[in-house]
A = this chain, B = another copy of it.
Amino acid sequence: MLTRQKRALGEQAKIFKALGHPSRLLMVEALRDGEKCVCELRELVGDDMSTVSRHLAVLREAGIVSSEKRGTNIYYTLKLSCLGIFLECTARAVTRKAREQFEEPGAR
């Protein structure tokens, strides 16, 4: 039973880990307004196609996105819908932190 909880914790960490890369975060952000094919995402992040494909695999294995082959392309969709709000929250935290670090050296 303890093992189950530990496994769950690891799976949960996997979600965060998958989101912990600029390119992957950018792609997930883009997927918030609808599915995109790999080629669109490749264009967005500018990396090699193979690199993008691997990033997407990480997101897929974490359960954050799902993929569907349709016609000649593969489309990726955001599965973890609750992510949106948290993305906004972290974005705010980042600007807040930047402001603090900007003010601090001048203060005191």
Contacts and interface: CB of A to CB of B under 8 A. Distances in A.
Interface of A: 6, 8-22, 24-26, 63, 80, 82-83, 85-87, 89-91, 93-95, 97-98
Contacts of A80: 89-90, 93
A98 to B, nearest CB: 7
A89 B82 contact: yes
A33 B75 CA distance: 41
Given A8-B94, A8-B95, A25-B9, A17 B15 contact: no
Nearest to A9: B22
A91 B5 CA distance: 11
**Most chain B beta-carbon neighbours within 10 Å: one of A18, A19, A93, A98:** A93
Given A80-B89, A86-B86, A89-B82, A97 B13 contact: no
